[in-house]
A and B are shown apart, each in its own frame.
Chain A
């Protein structure tokens, strides 16, 4: 490795300088001779040392940075392959932390850690070798305090690490507190919670101060240790070495050179503890990253849609989210090609789960969910998702232009197609009214759009993929009645198979058939009229609505 070779050369040049100084001083003392040749040698060595050191830094730190980029890229790829259960288990902040801090820690392991291990080893071997060559006895004396100081430095370092982590954890708590308070200011204001928020913040802030000062206290004892280590070496050389110079066993030049070597050792010695903790933390972070990367299933290729108007079949589907009671129990119904089926039911009845397993955002047990007659667990994901257009209740918009949000960079989508999809989703006029039309940047760092607009943009995004099968999960929750009607009319005209999940019975009435869920199980199904005639839950809900209308219209 080029970096290690450079480091070897740099160490050699560095150690040659005190050696040259020794000879210069000896020459001065005994020969009273001019020392120009040594002076020139020092300058040459210094230049060579600088060059070699630069080379080593570039190659080793550069390698660290490449590892950093590769790991981050691998993590990103892994994130992409995860199903929503991973995102439900890990907060965005946690995953962000893996991609930034953990990757950074590994970078230090590969960069600083590697430089440090190699250069510390070289420094110790080289400097001790050189010192032994000058005077073994003095070497032993000068190095005697080192083991104690190394142990001391390590102990301090461990405490520093522990306290740093405690401080950082508290900083995390504090920033979460700030974030949620600022994000929830409307509620804080409305409920006059300001004093409570201030008190909660003050308490966390005080804890942070305590932990920061505790960290500072240990660091204050740790930092001056470095010059102490160097100083003790100088002291020993001065006292023992001075005695040996006086005795004539070594030269004054050797004494000066010894000082140089000790100074050279001071930093690696102190850094030893730091290096060890960098290695320890680097390996821990690497394990955390590996955990994510290894858990990721391979990315599947985009595919072609299945059938023109595929059928759907749920065959005795029972599904539970990990660690929870089943969300769906023995759900059994099918949707014919081109048919529009509405799924209604109270909150928490498992309606949304149907959409999630159909798009295989959560995997159902095999042999329970079929699209176009094929088990969704055996259909390649790319194919499945090219077939199923699933529009969720809470649509996400990226901080990009509206056009980019609709096309998502898919090739070969003409502007006309974008406009047509926007028109079908009844959002075209509103987009035109935005400051930059389709180029208006929306999302967190752009223009804020209303909930209803967001839902319709998500619908347009799904329509642009020309899905053969449309699953709408309560997408009209924030859309007014006029708009809803317009959209449903446009969608029905296309002849797609549609599964409309809704708790608005009016929307259900427009469907060919209605499936009523309660507590995860189908309690009844049939046409709107048949269900009314049955006199079950649907009829009860419907009658209540009717009754209200009649009373109101009276």
Chain B
């Protein structure tokens, strides 16, 4: 399994890899008709293209120099025919190639995105969103380029080149060999400059990524820069990165421009060679004028594919690197999957004695060796309201994540309704245990879209949830109420209002078990009180686990579990814990400035 963390986006390897090619073929297989259509067109296009210089030769030698007006008209007619045919064929060819490429892109993109949705939370911890976006957006495009600008274009060039070589040898093999003399020079120059240009482009991309990364952070943290009057300092840094980028860009321009200039110059040298050698042949009567003119034309068709071969090689290389990354990602099996015959335990199937939730000797580490939970064990009875407390970083949120199997325990078991979460059907588990997060994510769409998490269509149900979460008043105040679109940064709703929406969303979701992860921490006391009133109704008949720093918000819990150093330090009711004068009592005292009664 390739380690997605260590790979570098710009490492180029071979331009062709058989294993990858097979995978690519499998990805493109559905487009085989389109691809076959394009392939059939190549020889036809080459034939029409190569007929033109020959028609020129015939016209000059047989008609113009012999003043055969009728014959010239016929040949010109034939020439016009090749033009029309070529235009039509090229149009169809370009369309088919683009169609195949775009469809492959579309399919791969969809497959990749669906696959990402199946991957577990630990994967997303290690792979920043930006990198995954590159996979889904640009890498996929690079792969489709492999078909259109890479493989297929190379095939077309090879067919044309073979045709040109054959026809030149057939017309006059000596003159052909004179022309070919320039090929090694051309190939060497093109290859050398192309490699340098490629390296230069890589440098350009690297510099640009650094520059844009810096710019993006500057934009996000502009307030900080302004508050501390660091504008000049930051701008000097930006200017330095900007200059680095410009230098890299100019470097790539040098090689690119040199390539085009030297190929053009070599083309003229080939022309000179043809006139020099061909001229002597003509003087000697061994060559016709028409043949010389046709040769000049053939030489032109000969040059461009060789010049661009390097570019195509680079396209293939980067496509293969992209393909490697894409397939590496697709091969990355989801780390958390439901077993083939997953249990969907029905609540009534178990005795009331079965705990709704249970952590049984759980050890857990996000990164090997750094234990967040060490032998953590507790039970939550059906209908019980439990609060998890403890200092920051003691594993409270981790418990919440383990309960919905966002992560798998390292050791021990997590049981929901007496069944190990690893035996549950994943969707059933997550419908059973709902979560309200501290960082409330809203998605593009209307308020109603964001609330409809249960396939609920009924606006009345949404209203009830909004009222219960005390979000009804502010939603009504929005210009379009439930149909108000939520902006990118949710600018039209405040932090507190977002939390109210998140609570309403959980109400719509209506799970038997609710995990509240610091949901009410940044709502003001007034709203917090209102929400808690609503929560009482929500929690009725449900099992709940609340995670909060605010000790006063969890006093209504049936039981409080104090986590410390990754395990349960003490548990009991609020008054029991205060009487014990342990860790909880100390937390309470510090939080409230008065010794516990």
Contact = CB atoms under 8 A, between A and B. Distances in A.
A478 B98 contact: no
A50 B261 contact: yes
Interface in B387-440: 391-393, 404, 406, 426-427, 430-431, 434-435, 437-438
Given A76-B215, A192-B431, 4 more contacts: A235-B76, A256-B293, A385-B227, A551-B555
Interface stretch (B230-238, B325-333, B342-350, B535-543): B230-238
A125 B329 CA distance: 56
A385 B508 CA distance: 46
A141 interface: no
24 contacts: A39-B275, A69-B243, A73-B242, A80-B222, A80-B226, A178-B136, A182-B116, A192-B431, A205-B106, A205-B109, A221-B91, A235-B79, A252-B64, A255-B60, A396-B221, A399-B213, A409-B233, A478-B392, A481-B549, A481-B590, A482-B391, A509-B593, A549-B592, A552-B555
A408 B555 contact: no
B312 to A, nearest CB: 16
B525 A478 contact: no
Contacts of A398: 217, 221, 224
Contacts of B73: 239
B98 A216 contact: yes
Nearest to B285: A32
Interface stretch (A226-234, A280-288, A309-317, A365-373): A226-234
A62 B253 contact: yes
B494 A348 contact: yes
Contact of A17 (B223, B271, B505): B271
Given A234-B79, A408-B228, A220 B221 contact: no
Interface string A56-75: 01100110011011001100
A423 interface: no
A177 B226 contact: no
Contacts of B28: none
A293 interface: no
A252 B290 CA distance: 10
Nearest to B95: A220
Size category, A interface: 35 or more
Contact of B488 (A39, A91, A174, A346): A91
B521 interface: yes
B265 A189 contact: no
Interface string B110-132: 10011011100100100011001
B253 A57 contact: yes
A89 B98 CA distance: 38
Interface stretch (A92-100, A157-165, A270-278): A92-100
Contact of B94 (A177, A201, A220): A220
B250 A65 contact: yes
A466 to B, nearest CB: 12
Contact of A348 (B128, B496, B521): B496
A219 B272 contact: no
A532 interface: no
Interface stretch (A132-140, A331-339, A443-451): A443-451
B72 A481 contact: no
B64 A76 contact: no
Interface stretch (A116-124, A240-248, A414-422, A492-500): A240-248
A319 to B, nearest CB: 16
B441 interface: yes
A151 interface: no
B578 interface: yes
Q: Is the interface of B mostly helix, strand, loop or mixed?
A: helix
Interface string B528-571: 01000000000000000000010110010000000000000000
A552 B574 contact: yes
B268 A227 contact: no
Residue of A216, A263, A303, A465 with most partner-chain B CB within 10 A? A216
A29 B276 CA distance: 14
A485 B590 CA distance: 7
A100 to B, nearest CB: 6
A5 interface: no
Nearest to A253: B289
Interface string B74-109: 011001101100110011111100110011011001
A33 B284 CA distance: 10
Contacts of B82: 231
B202 to A, nearest CB: 17
Interface string A288-305: 000000000001001100
A478 B59 contact: no
Contact of A479 (B213, B392, B437): B392
Nearest to A191: B453
A480 B227 contact: no
Contacts of B231: 77, 80-81, 299
B491 to A, nearest CB: 6
B69 interface: yes
Nearest to B98: A216
B481 interface: no
B262 interface: yes
Residue of B215, B261, B575 with most partner-chain A CB within 10 A? B261
B149 interface: no
B166 interface: no
Nearest to B509: A191
Interface in B571-597: 574-575, 578, 587, 590-593, 596-597
B283 interface: yes
A285 to B, nearest CB: 17
B496 A347 contact: yes
B283 A28 contact: yes
Contacts of B217: 398-399, 443-444
Contacts of B317: none
A302 B229 contact: yes
A209 B103 contact: yes
B155 interface: no
A45 interface: yes
A491 interface: no
A42 B268 contact: yes
B117 A465 contact: no
A372 B505 CA distance: 47
B172 interface: no
A443 to B, nearest CB: 7
B225 interface: yes
Contacts of A150: none
A544 B529 contact: yes
A234 B133 contact: no
B551 A46 contact: no
B245 interface: yes
Contacts of A95: 219
Nearest to A56: B257
Contacts of A188: 117
Interface string A535-554: 00000010011001101111
Contacts of A408: 224-225, 228, 230, 233
Contacts of B435: 190
A49 B272 contact: no
B548 to A, nearest CB: 10
Given A186-B406, A552-B555, A231 B99 contact: no
A401 to B, nearest CB: 14
A69 B246 contact: yes
A326 interface: no
B591 A548 contact: no
A390 interface: yes
Contacts of A385: 226-229
B257 A57 contact: yes
A359 B225 CA distance: 13
B246 A246 contact: no
A182 B527 contact: no
A35 B121 CA distance: 76
Contacts of A50: 261-262, 264-265
Contacts of A92: 216, 219-220
A185 B121 CA distance: 8
A179 B76 CA distance: 58
B444 A180 contact: yes
B63 to A, nearest CB: 7
